[in-house]
Amino acid sequence: MKLIQSGKMVAAMALMLTFSAPIPAMSGDTIKIGVAGAHSGDLATYGLPTVNAAKLVVDQVNAKGGIKGKKIELLIEDDVCKPEVATNSATKLVSQGAEVIIGHICSGPTKAALPIYKNANILVISPSSTSPDLTYSGEYPNFFRTIAPDDTQAKVDVEFALNKLGFTKIALVHDKGDYGKGLAEFAKSFIEKSGKAQVVLFEGVTPGAVDYSAIVQKIKQKDAQAVIFGGYHPEASKIVSMMKKKRMTTAFISDDGVKVDTFISVAGADAEGAYASGPMDTTKNPLSIQAKDEHKKAFGTDPGSFFENAYAATLALVNAIDKAGSTDLAALKKVLQTEKVDTPLGSISFNEKGDAIGVGFSVYQVKDGKFIELK
């Protein structure tokens, strides 16, 4: 009985495979832009600002009559920052006829979803996926981003610690995550290459652990002059607080996961003097001021993480669709790589690999409860 059934199955399966042609690209009366990222759960704070940014830009474009008479429609999909969910979201977006994608937010899901978009010849532009592999490996010709990859940031941090501050003994600590550990590894290789300093410690901490005093004691025992930490602000503020409690004067240098206001509000006075690299200061850019005002007007709050990157990504994308006159991958790529666009991040275009030109990092220091850019 079972055998016969499975025999039928194979036959049916073969039939199904021959008949199922790929879904034709939808050419409706709207341009469909997919927005994918973490919109619920604990990482939603990183994903929702992107949705807001895309909405703001798209509303403006639509108010002006859309692109060449076509209105833009947003398809919003949640991937909760999980790779296995991201493949579902990506498939859903593709089958709903999304023509370009803004997202995903986390590097892991982006990696998982990209092959699906690549297969469908859809352009993807991420505001926040910083894993260097995404552009360096050359495996994703359809991928662009408006944020600099992690190694640029590690380089900025290391150069600052070695050349500006003149440290020779550095401890590298990370949060065992994709982003944090990657950054620490890059920092390690840059320090070793420079030959100016010595890595005295390279270790990971467990996010959410009840206590970091043991690792802080180890930093002290190794006599490090500075800690370069790769990771996010909750762990960073635990480490700086613990260092202050142990009366240590070791410098604390970290990344843009820490260069957020929550770091200062959580760590309070302990954050004073900490360094963190982050996207170059945009507070004087008129477009950035305007974008933030729009957000305040529309949603009543200050924009969150990666808002400007997402705003820039949407602007670049809309401009490219307008100039190219279609959502064809090759045409869009050409426009993105040749034409400069004015965005809240400055005037940007993209290089061959898909990384934005003109987006970089600078180092900030916490002074009187605020991040001040160091020139």
Partner 1 sequence: MDYFIELLCSGLTRGAIYALIALGYTMVYGIIGLINFAHGEIYMIGAFTAYIVATVLTIYGFPLLAIVVLAGLAAVVWSSAYGYTVERIAYKPLRHAPRLSPLISAIGMSIFLQNYVLLAQTPDFLPFPTLIPDFPFMEPIAHIIGSTDLVILLTTTIIMIALTVLIKGTKIGKAMRATAQDRTMAMLLGIDVNKIISATFIIGSALAAVGGLLIASHIGQINFSIGFLAGIKAFTAAVLGGIGSIPGAVLGALVLGLTESFATGYVSSDYEDVFAFSLLVIILIFKPSGLLGKAETKKV
Partner 2 sequence: MSPLKHTLRGLLLSLWFAALTFPIMVIKVNPVEGTVTWRWQNALFVAGGVFFIYLLVQLALRHKAASKKAGASDDTGEQESFIHRILQDQKQKYLLGGILLAVAVAFPTFSSSYQTTVMTTALMYVVLGLGLNIVVGMAGLLDLGYVAFYAVGAYSYALLNHHFGLGFWAVLPIGGGLAALFGILLGFPVLRLRGDYLAIVTLGFGEIIRLILENWGEFSKGPSGISNIARPGLFGIELSLDSAIIYSYYLMVLFVIATIFIVNRLQDSRLGRAWIALREDEIACQAMGIDKRKTKLVAFSLGAFWAGIIGVVFAAKTTFINPASFTFLESAIILAIVVLGGMGSIVGVILAALILILLPEYLRELSQYRMLAFGAILVAMMVFRPQGLIASIRRTYKFEKPAPAGKPR
> Which chain residues interact with partner 2 by CB under 8 A?
1-2, 5-6, 9, 12-13, 16-17, 19-23, 39-41, 78, 82-84, 87-88, 91-92, 94-96, 107-108, 111-112, 115-116, 119-120, 131, 133, 139, 176-178, 181-182, 185, 204, 265
Minimum CB separation of residue 203 from partner 1 in Å reads 5
Sheet holding 198-204, edge to edge: 198-204, 169-174, 226-230, 251-254, 275-279, 361-367, 370-373
39 or 353: CB nearest partner 2: 39
**Helix segments in 26-132, DSSP class H:** 44-63, 83-95, 107-119
Task: Give the residue, chosen from 145, 188, 238, 295, that forms a contact with partner 1 under the rule CB under 8 A.
Answer: 238
Query: Strands 275-279, 198-204: parallel, antiparallel or unpaired by DSSP?
Result: unpaired
**Nearer to partner 2 among residue 76 and residue 224 (C-beta):** 76
Alpha carbon distance 193, 195 (integer Å):
5
| 3-state SS class at 347 | strand
Cis amide leading into 174 (omega within 30): no
Stretch that binds partner 1, among 163-171, 231-239, 314-322, 348-356 (CB under 8 A): 231-239
The single residue among 27, 221, 290, 351 that binds partner 1, judged by CB under 8 A, is: 221
- For partner 1, which residue of 203, 293, 302, 322 counts as binding (CB under 8 A)? 203
204 binds partner 1 (CB under 8 A): yes
- Least Å distance between CB 278 and partner 2? 19
Nearer to partner 2, 207 or 358 (CB): 207
Q: Output phi, psi for 346, to 5 deg.
A: 110, -175
- Name the residue nearer to partner 1 (CB basis): 160 or 263: 263
- Which residues, other chains included, contact 10 with Cβ-Cβ below 8 Å and sequence gap of 6+? none
Among 209, 289, 357, 372, binds partner 1 (CB under 8 A): 209
Q: Which is nearer to partner 2, 14 or 330 (CB)?
A: 14
CB 31 within 8 A of CB 314: no
- Please give the distance of CA 144 from its chain centroid, rounded to a whole number: 11
Please give the size of the binding site for partner 1, defined by CB under 8 A: 37
Residue 248: contacted member of partner 1, partner 2, none (CB under 5 to 8 Å, by partner type): partner 1
Q: Does 200 bind partner 1 (CB under 8 A)?
A: no
Q: Measured between alpha carbons, how far is 114 from 110 in angstroms, rounded to an integer?
A: 6
Q: Which does 92 bind (CB under 5 to 8 A by kind): partner 1, partner 2, none?
A: partner 2
> Which one, 238 or 353, has the nearer CB to partner 1?
238
Q: What whole-number distance in Å separates Cα of residue 116 and Cα of residue 90?
A: 7
Helix-, strand-, coil-residue percentages of the chain, each rounded to 5: 45, 20, 35
Q: Which is nearer to partner 2, 95 or 351 (CB)?
A: 95
340's tokens = 């400069």
Closest residue by Cα to residue 258 from 188, 174, 343: 174
Measured from the CB atom, the residue of 81 and 316 that comes closer to partner 2 is 81
Tokens encoding 277: 């690299």
Is residue 212 part of the contact set for partner 1 (CB under 8 A)?
Answer: yes
Closer residue to partner 2 (CB): 83 or 360:
83
Q: Kindly tell me which residue out of 217, 290, 347, 351 binds partner 1, with binding defined by CB under 8 A.
A: 217
Residue 195 CB-density burial (10 A; 0-12 exposed, 13-18 middle, 19+ buried): exposed
- How near is the Cβ of 304 to partner 1 at its closest, in Å? 10
By the rule CB under 8 A, 301 interacts with partner 1? no
For 185-203, the DSSP string reads: HHHHHHHHHH-S-EEEEEE
Binding positions for partner 1, rule: CB under 8 A: 41-42, 44-45, 176, 203-206, 208-215, 217-218, 220-221, 233-234, 237-238, 241-242, 245-248, 262, 265-268, 270
